[in-house]
Structure 1
Amino acid sequence: MSNLEQLYRTLDERKRPEDVAEMIVVLLGDGLTVNEKKNLERVAQGSLSKKIGGYTSMLQTFASAKGAGQQIEKAIELFQLDTHVQSDYNRADDIEAFIGLASSIIHKPVGQNDFTADRLNKVQRAANNLDLSKRNYNKKWRLLKRIEKKLQTFIRESRKISFQKAGKHGLAGMISLEDFSADPDTACFIAYYNARCNLRSVFTNQSQDRPYDEICDLLLNRCRRQPDRTNWWAIAHLYTSAEVLSRLSEGQKGQLLGKWTSLLEDIAALLDEVWQSSRINLQTMVVKRGDDSTTWNNTAAAWNKARDHWMHLVYASGMEALLDDICFGKVLRLMAADVVAWHAAGGGKLDPNTAVWNKLPLPWEVFRGKESCTKEQVTRYCREAGLDPEKSGWIAPRIHGVTAFRPTPELVHGVAIANPFLATVLKQQKFFSGKGLKRPDPGTNPVG
């Protein structure tokens, strides 16, 4: 595997920026200026390969949804099917194809899963030439019902994970290897900025660091020096600054605007599902027992990221007038009560964005045409809350500066820990999780 291919694989991982910087130093080699090499090596000094022990307590991949392989393996045995068929039961299409095949064997219509009404009786089984005992038939019928349920769970979990990724790094997962590898400088900027975007949030009562740091700027400067060679289309999948979008054709801007609009619609549907199954307090946005805060917060982050990119494209395409008719609001995350109390103890007040969120129509209602949300509404509510509607990102793209690089901390539920070994132990003992401590058995190794 080439260095570029290895770098491309990091787009779907959670590699630390330090480790990606080390890969970039190797890839660009003598093509770096003295100052560029110095700064990249300063960051790469924190890579895992240069650390004593060389490991981190944090996963370097995103979670993945578990398919129906276990259930289908049992079904293949029960139905005595050909095991030489090459299928991937971590793919929804392959699971669905198997359900269709196996269901046809026992004449079970897919989706009809009422145990009382939808099974064939003895006469119906005979009419369909099913030489099966009632027990054997029921066993196969129940297993197929479970696989159908597993498929729906798999699809939902896959959606949640895809939105979590989008909330971190935008459409980076849609960049092809061909586009990524066409220019090494483009590839290096995308990979490093992607790693910075994927950093986990730190438990704090202050704002989080922005992903665009001094190393991002260094790498983008290399692209600026050779604009005709740079693949701005690939970069725009995760970094939609006005500068980058100005390098795209109107057709390319239109394609990206369509992608982000479709993603917003999909995210809105999941937000609605979580909203309906929770009792979220709009006035405070403080999480309560029974709220699915993980799904809500990951999906809200995806909405806000997609909305921000969408807003950049609206302005870059000269379509600001669109906001007079439809100006989607932000979606606020749920906050833990201890964070709110900590913020209040430091003299802070309820986030003024909450007041705007309280008054605006819910985004999924806007998508369904049940409510309208205009620029005039958003502007009025922002001013009532004491917010600048443009600078706060409610009616215009968010503009960022260049932050200083900071070493990636070891985190346990957002709390920074100085040592990865200690972080591993604290995770195993459920510190900072809110689930109580796990007491190890006497004589066991806590790191295992």
Structure 2
Amino acid sequence: MSSPVVEQLLRELHATLVLRKRPEDVARLVQDLYAAQGTALDPATETALAKAAENSLRSLWHGYTSMREEFARPVGAQRQLARAADLFPGLLTGLFPGLPELPDDAGDDPARIQAVIRRAGEEIGRAYGQNDFGRDRLDRAERAEAGLGSLSKRQYNKRFRLLRRMEAKLARIVHEQRRREVTMTGKGALAHALPYELFAADADTAAFVAYVTARGYMRSVFTNGRQRQVYDEVAEALFQRLREAPERTCWYAVAHVHPTAEVLAHVSDEDLTGLLVRWGRFLRQVADLLEDAWNRHPLERDTMIVRRGDDSSTWNQAAQAWNTARAHWFALLGELGRDEILDRVCPGKVPRLMAADVAYWHRMSGGGLHPDTYVWAELPLPWEVLRGEQECPRSLVEAVCARHRVDPVAGAWTAARPAAEAVPFRRTPELVHGVAVADPLMASALRSAGVFSGKGKRAAAQEWT
């Protein structure tokens, strides 16, 4: 039985799986966890954690970061539900019995919002989905027949319009919640869906999963080089502790975020199959998002440079989620000995859209398009492959890679990603639209002024990427 302090720290670490805490702050929590347990750390782990934690907000004089510490959440329907409570007296208390007032989180729950819309619709003879103001409203005779004769046309219309707006609001909430989940999955894999019981079964497991997830959630930097790698020396030190106590480690939890062959070898076939099915389902969902973005405005596929009208945010979020899901799916197929599936269906990677100024920077520094872009441009579109409309066997991918001098295995086109080598720890920078700024207070001022945004002066926007 863990102490209350250890339990609280494990809860705090688990909460970071859906937040956007800096890796330094997660490292500090890990230090606190080991101290509360009285765990004697080996020198490598102690040094690595200290190196990261010395830059945590608790250790800095200002204790402040200008960057959001959570993924942006959609605006809920609290205002619309409050209005429904006024226009339909007794409705909400009937749906939420025993409560003196509407729950604070009701406006964020699509199921509850839909229940309100359906029940309120029954009170005015409106079926869910009947949103045409000219065709679906009841006339005077129909209102009388439905027992609404005492309700004036004006009052009836007011209620009809509210429910129509609430359905539109519900659709936006569902879309934005899905977009948030896709963003989190692209950056942190399935960490956000990891139950507390699995996460907290072992302190070393919790420490590694929380830290690696925080590294994955880091924002992209405006650069013409590679982005910062997730697996660093702190993650390596924490993973070494898992290696030293494999019987205690919850490898299934680790497989949610770090699907290397070494990790997956410790997971049962049943759990591996469950993860494979889960990632396969997610691939199909993300493929639909990619297709929708493509159909709304087809991209410049040969260059993947942003043009006017492109929804680069949605595409890049979905592309990152696709590549993450694909990497896990490939790794699981290999561990289960079922990679012969790739001989028949081997969907390609999806590149992110690149801003024109970054592309110009690449050219001016002697670079060019990434070779993967040329491979992507020749392969069938991923959603067409998953639906079986286009064939994309491993042999085709290998042929295209050979044509553009890309190693299909090292480049993870036909196999799981190679195990990452640990990179040195570097302090998380304060970013303003991807540009590093030394001082967080200055970063707040620059963001509010719209600097580096490519637009005029405006208020700080929610950060999705």
TM-score by length of 2: 0.92
Cα distance between partner residues in 2 of 1:359 and 1:94: 46
Amino acid at match of 1:69: Q
- Is the partner of 2:221 in helix, strand or coil? coil
1:115 maps to 133
Residue 175 of structure 1 and its aligned partner are, at CA, apart by: 1.1
1:442 maps to none
Give the 3 Å change call, closer, same or farther, for CA 62–438 of structure 1 in structure 2: closer
User: Cα RMSD over matched residues?
Assistant: 1.3
More displaced 10-residue stretch of structure 1: 201-210 or 80-89: 80-89
Cα distance between partner residues in 2 of 1:113 and 1:148: 8
Task: Indicate if the aligned counterparts of 2:44 and 2:237 stay in contact, CA closer than 8 A.
Answer: no
Cα distance between partner residues in 1 of 2:66 and 2:388: 46
Counterpart check, 1:414 vs 2:414 = no
Cα distance between partner residues in 2 of 1:383 and 1:101: 60
- Is the partner of 2:416 in helix, strand or coil? coil
2:222 maps to 203
Amino acid at match of 2:84: A
Give the 3 Å change call, closer, same or farther, for CA 34–352 of structure 1 in structure 2: closer
Residue 123 of structure 1 and its aligned partner are, at CA, apart by: 0.8
1:431 maps to 451
Cα distance between partner residues in 2 of 1:368 and 1:100: 34
- Is the partner of 1:98 in helix, strand or coil? helix
Counterpart check, 1:27 vs 2:27 = no
- Is the partner of 2:169 in helix, strand or coil? helix
2:164 maps to 145
2:463 maps to none
1:249 maps to 268
Cα distance between partner residues in 2 of 1:246 and 1:301: 26
Amino acid at match of 1:20: V
Amino acid at match of 1:68: A
**Per-residue CA distance 1:405-428 (angstroms, 9 max, x = gap):** 100000011111111111111101
Counterpart check, 1:372 vs 2:381 = no
Unaligned runs of 5+ in 1: 440-448
More displaced 10-residue stretch of structure 1: 259-268 or 63-72: 63-72
Cα distance between partner residues in 2 of 1:359 and 1:229: 47
Q: What is the aligned residue count? A: 439
Cα distance between partner residues in 2 of 1:61 and 1:438: 21
The aligned runs of 1:130-141 (5 Å cut-off) are: 130-131=148-149, 132-141=151-160
Residue 82 of structure 1 and its aligned partner are, at CA, apart by: 4.5
Amino acid at match of 2:273: G
Residue 368 of structure 1 and its aligned partner are, at CA, apart by: 2.0
- Is the partner of 2:431 in helix, strand or coil? strand
More displaced 10-residue stretch of structure 1: 24-33 or 322-331: 24-33
1:98 maps to 116
Amino acid at match of 2:399: R
Cα distance between partner residues in 2 of 1:105 and 1:434: 50
- Is the partner of 2:121 in helix, strand or coil? helix
Amino acid at match of 2:362: H
Cα distance between partner residues in 2 of 1:380 and 1:279: 26
- Is the partner of 2:340 in helix, strand or coil? helix
Cα distance between partner residues in 1 of 2:341 and 2:91: 56
Cα distance between partner residues in 1 of 2:381 and 2:137: 42
The aligned runs of 1:5-84 (5 Å cut-off) are: 5-29=11-35, 30-31=38-39, 32-84=41-93
Cα distance between partner residues in 2 of 1:317 and 1:432: 47
Cα distance between partner residues in 2 of 1:369 and 1:58: 43
Amino acid at match of 1:4: L
Task: Indicate if the aligned counterparts of 2:265 and 2:335 stay in contact, CA closer than 8 A.
Answer: yes
Cα distance between partner residues in 1 of 2:87 and 2:427: 53
- Is the partner of 1:89 in helix, strand or coil? helix
Cα distance between partner residues in 2 of 1:281 and 1:215: 39
Amino acid at match of 1:422: M
Aligned mate of 1:154, from 146, 166, 173: 173
Cα distance between partner residues in 2 of 1:81 and 1:68: 18
Task: Indicate if the aligned counterparts of 2:305 and 2:354 stay in contact, CA closer than 8 A.
Answer: yes
Residue 279 of structure 1 and its aligned partner are, at CA, apart by: 3.2
The aligned runs of 1:264-275 (5 Å cut-off) are: 264-275=283-294
Amino acid at match of 1:104: E
Cα distance between partner residues in 2 of 1:438 and 1:328: 41
- Is the partner of 1:200 in helix, strand or coil? coil
Residue 278 of structure 1 and its aligned partner are, at CA, apart by: 1.6
Amino acid at match of 1:44: A
2:213 maps to 194
Residue 367 of structure 1 and its aligned partner are, at CA, apart by: 2.0
Unaligned runs of 5+ in 2: 1-6, 97-101, 460-465
**Per-residue CA distance 1:203-239 (angstroms, 9 max, x = gap):** 1110112101111110011111110110000010111
Amino acid at match of 2:199: F
